[in-house]
Amino acid sequence: MRRKLVVGNWKMHGSIAANRTLLEKVVAGVYTCYHADFAVCVPYPYIAQTQILLTGSNVCWGAQNLCSTRDGASTGAVSPAMLTDFGCTHAIIGHSERRNLFHETDDTAAARFNAAREAGLVPIFCMGESAEERESDWTEYIVGRQLDSILRRFGPQALSNAVLAYEPLWAIGSDKAATPEQAQEVHAFIRNRIARCDAKIAQEVRILYGGSVTPANAAQLFAMPDIDGGLIGRASLSAEEFVPICLAANDRCVRSNIHRFEGHDAPIAASA
Ligand code: 13P
């Protein structure tokens, strides 16, 4: 069985003072939750502070992007090795805000995905359709194309230490989360498409849902068979909202009898 994973994506939010308060509350709120995994992906300048505050806790940390090259003349870029230097375990790749605001393509996202893996990071690879694409019945075409950018280039094996995230653009930053049934349908589509290449990896890979997850809808979303946790935006900025979402994931694992750590990424944040 797959353990649930809840990841906070802080996006471009935070300050030294606010981060401290938030992370101390998150650590205190989830420290008895051994059945699910948790991580926060913070802006680059706060990774060192996050490392100090989370080391030894059961919350991992990571970045929201990375550069696909190792080092060199890339002004403004951050390499995967720089992230692992600061104890990062995860990196969000191909978020729709990166694709839309910063013109990332399937190709550049795939290159970043591979660079993250090669550096030992768990890439959290985002996919999702816009409202217009959903209305035109293109959801499977768009999500399939994004998934294939990884499968075709690197093969299903590349997903063996990766996480996928289905984040429909119309649900991000809105008040309109996908219903559990809508999300489940796309998650099952993703898993079936991977299964055509490798049934074992399809069963093992975690697929998170992202888009307006709140304490009010988390438990229902996490109860769906192919939803393995959440990628949380706004609600990850407040411990009062993020912790109950983490508890919902942990509770779902307890109910489903998922007690053991079964691979993927480290359950305990690495020491500095
Ligand atoms: P919200 O949870 O704020 O809708 O954001 C979702 C998201 O983009 C997570 O990556």
Q: Are 168 and 138 in contact (CB under 8 A)?
A: no
Q: What is the separation of C-alpha 264 from the centre of its chain, rounded to a whole number of angstroms?
A: 13
* pLDDT digit string (tens) for the chain, length 272 residues: 899 999 999 999 999 999 999 999 999 999 999 999 999 999 999 999 999 999 999 999 999 999 999 999 999 999 999 999 999 999 999 999 999 999 999 999 999 999 999 999 999 999 999 999 999 999 999 999 999 999 999 999 999 999 999 999 999 999 899 999 999 999 999 999 999 999 999 999 999 999 999 999 999 999 999 999 999 999 999 999 999 999 999 999 998 887 655 444 444 454 44
Nearest CA, atom 7, ligand 1: 233
Strand pairing report for 37-41 and 90-93: unpaired
Backbone phi and psi for residue 252, each to the nearest 5 degrees, phi listed first:
-65, -40
Compute, in angstroms, the gap from residue 211 CA to the centroid of ligand 1.
5
What CATH architecture is 5-261? Alpha-Beta Barrel (3.20)
Question: What are the extents of the domains in the chain?
Answer: 5-261
Catalytic-role residue among 35, 90, 95, 187: 95
Q: Give CA–CA dist 150/117, Å, rounded.
A: 12
Q: Running DSSP on this structure, what letter comes out for residue 16?
A: H
* CA-closest candidate to residue 229, choices 173, 169, 183: 183
- The proportion of the chain whose per-residue pLDDT surpasses 90, expressed as a percent, equals 92
Strand pairing report for 37-41 and 5-9: parallel
Compute, in angstroms, the gap from residue 161 CA to the centroid of ligand 1.
23
- What are 202-211's pLDDT values in tens digits? 999 999 999 9
pLDDT averaged over the chain? 95
Residue 95 known to be catalytic: yes
Q: Are 249 and 5 in contact (CB under 8 A)?
A: yes
- What are 155-193's pLDDT values in tens digits? 999 999 999 999 999 999 998 999 999 999 999 999 999
Q: What is the DSSP string of 106-165?
A: HHHHHHHHHHHHHTT-EEEEEE---HHHHHTT-HHHHHHHHHHHHHHHH-GGGGTT-EEE
Residue 132 known to be catalytic: no
Measured from CB, residues less than 6 Å from any atom of ligand 1 are 9, 95, 167, 172-173, 210-213, 231-235
Compute, in angstroms, the gap from residue 11 CA to the centroid of ligand 1.
9
Q: Are 6 and 244 in contact (CB under 8 A)?
A: no
Question: What does the block give as tokens for 195?
Answer: 């299964």
- CA end-to-end span of the chain, whole Å? 30
Tell which one of 169, 234, 236, 237 to mutate to probe ligand 1, the residue whose CB is within 8 A of the most ligand atoms: 234
Catalytic-role residue among 167, 187, 241, 264: 167
Compute, in angstroms, the gap from residue 97 CA to the centroid of ligand 1.
10
Tell which one of 130, 174, 212, 237 to mutate to probe ligand 1, the residue whose CB is within 8 A of the most ligand atoms: 212
Tell whether pTM > 0.85. yes
Q: Is 262 exposed, middle or buried (0-12, 13-18, 19+ CB in 10 A)?
A: exposed
